Amino acid sequence: MEMKELVKNFPKQLAEAVEIANVAQLPAAKIDFLNVLIAGLGGSGIGGSIVAELAFSTCKVPVNVTKGYFIPEYTGAKTLVIVSSYSGNTEETIACMQQAVAKGATVCCITSGGAIEQFARNNNLPIILIPGGLPPRSCLGYSITQLVKIMSHYGLLADDSVKSISECGVFLEQEQKDIVAQTQKLSRAILGKTPVIYCTTPYEGVAVRLRQQLNENSKILCWHHVIPEMNHNELVGWAGGNEEIAVLFLHDTEDYERNLYRMELNRQIISKYTPHIFDIFAKGNSLLAKYFYFIHFGDWLSVELATLRGVDAVEVNVINFLKSELSKK
Active site residues: 216, 232, 323
DSSP 29: P
**Residue 288 contacts residue 54 (beta carbons within 8 Å):** yes
Phi-psi region of 104 (alpha: psi -120 to 50; beta: other; left: phi over 0): left
List the end-to-end C-alpha distance of the chain, in Å, as a whole number. 33
Please return the burial class of 16, using the count of CB atoms within 10 Å of its CB with bins 0-12, 13-18 and 19+.
middle
- Whole-angstrom Cα distance, residue 38 to residue 174? 32
**Residue 286 contacts residue 254 (beta carbons within 8 Å):** no
- Whole-angstrom Cα distance, residue 155 to residue 322? 39
Q: How far is CA 271 from CA 207, 223, 239, 242, 246, in A?
A: 21, 18, 11, 10, 10
Helix (H, G, I), strand (E, B) or coil at 89: coil
Closest CA to 31 of 79, 71, 64: 79
- Whole-angstrom Cα distance, residue 33 to residue 26? 15
- Whole-angstrom Cα distance, residue 244 to residue 250? 20
Helix pair 10-23, 140-153: axis angle to 10 deg = 30
Closest CA to 131 of 211, 240, 15, 281: 15
